[in-house]
Amino acid sequence: MTMIACTINRNVPVVMADILISGDQQPEKFILPSHNENILDFMDSRADFHPVMLLRKIYISKSNVCVAFAGDVATIKKFLEDLVIFCKAHPSADAFAMQQFCFGYGLKPGDDIAFLMVVADIVNEEYRFLKMKYGDWNETQSPIFGDVMAAGSGAEDFILETMEAANYLSGFPQDSIEIALQSNVILLCRLLSLEHISLRNTKNYWGAGFEMVYLMRQGFTFFDNITYIINHAAFDNTGGMEIPIPAIIMHYQYVDETLVITAINPQQGTTEVKENFIIIRYTEFKVKQFIVDPIYGGKTVDTDAIAADTSFTANRIAMGYVITTPAGDFLPASFNVGPELLVEYKHLESVTIRIRKEMNDALADLSKQWYEGMHF
């Protein structure tokens, strides 16, 4: 049970996958990075499947070859191992060679596996890419995301999210290549916000966190060193938005082949409003690290060393906002790279969030427009 997807907008392929693995044996406890409580308390214990672990599902087997998997872990592991061997034997790993591998692999209709492989070849100093897929896929055209395809138990939910007229705050022009990447980050932030407030996706056996791979000049690369902040906020009686309160902070970082998610749950803090910045400081918080290993198993990093210092400084930040009203939840999101938004976390000592006031004001204006259009 899973969700893997690909969007192609302005000729930019972006491959995404969740990290949740489900099984038929219910564990005693299961915590999500976006939700600091035991989620099994909110789920049906009589269900056929339950969340059991976190694993990575996207792999870059060559700089020009990206593949995402859904299905049975053992089947995926065998396919991935064979793919790695094939790529080592075929240094170019061009589209023709990868087609030969996929067509000749011998998957049978009963095999529980779905995959998407995107191969990018350089032609006249530019990348041209080929998509190959196997299994059951949902596909659509989205006004924001372009060509969209998804597979797994979360495919339908993901497709619906890409078709929603959501609120995306971006500083890039609407026709820029950068916005194709940025819109996908914001989409994942909105999904994490939904998961935080409702566990909607987890109850359908997908979610828990997301990986994202995109194509750049040097080849495919993971979207690394990104921080997601999920905020709670409220309207005053005129539709003005109060200063958001961070509910969860999640920092994603790859260490070798392992995804490390550092999740911070702020407890008590102070907010200082200056002329140009809003500064939120916490000295009381809970922190938990989630180690998401590759599907072929084995620890690739020293987890004790990682846990010894969980500090990070981040300026690549997606902000999701949960504003609950009688008319429903308003879930705007934004993504920023640069000094306008900064998170500094010192290991077990303090968390400081620095937001340029203009960014918060832009969100407040958008929220007021939405509020004035609602009928309570």
pLDDT digits (tens, 9 = 90+) for 88-97: 998 889 999 9
* Residue range 322-339: mean pLDDT, rounded: 81
Q: Specify the pLDDT at position 192.
A: 96
Q: Give residue-wise pLDDT tens across range 275-296.
A: 899 999 999 999 999 999 999 8
Residues 6+ apart with CB under 8 A from 253: 224, 225, 259, 260, 262, 312
> In the numeric block, which tokens belong to residue 276?
């140009």
Q: Using alpha carbons, list the distances in angstroms from residue 157 to 44, 138, 202, 223, 313.
A: 19, 10, 11, 22, 33
Residue whose structure tokens are 């907008």: 9
Structural contact between residues 25 and 1, judged by C-beta atoms closer than 8 angstroms: no
Out of 196-200, 322-326, 329-333, the most confident range is 196-200
Q: Give residue-wise pLDDT tens across range 165-197.
A: 555 555 566 666 677 889 999 999 999 999 999
* Residue range 108-131: mean pLDDT, rounded: 87
> Nearest to residue 18, comparing CAs of 119, 138, 132, 150?
150
Report CA 304 to chain centroid distance, whole Å: 25
Q: Specify the pLDDT at position 127.
A: 78
Confidence class for position 376, pLDDT limits 50, 70, 90:
very low
Share of the chain above pLDDT 70, in %: 91
Residue whose structure tokens are 């407040």: 364
> Nearest to residue 14, comparing CAs of 228, 179, 196, 205?
179
How far is 172 from 182, CA to CA, in rounded Å? 9
* Residue range 201-228: mean pLDDT, rounded: 93
Sign of CA dihedral 71, 52, 192, 301: negative
Domains and their CATH numbers in the chain: 4-222 (3.60.20.10), 226-373 (no CATH)
Q: Specify the pLDDT at position 359.
A: 82
Q: Specify the pLDDT at position 241.
A: 73
How far is 106 from 99, CA to CA, in rounded Å? 13
Q: Give residue-wise pLDDT tens across range 37-94.
A: 899 998 888 788 889 999 999 999 999 999 999 999 999 999 999 999 999 998 889 9
* Residue range 310-317: mean pLDDT, rounded: 96
> In the numeric block, which tokens belong to residue 233?
């906020």
Q: Specify the pLDDT at position 211.
A: 98
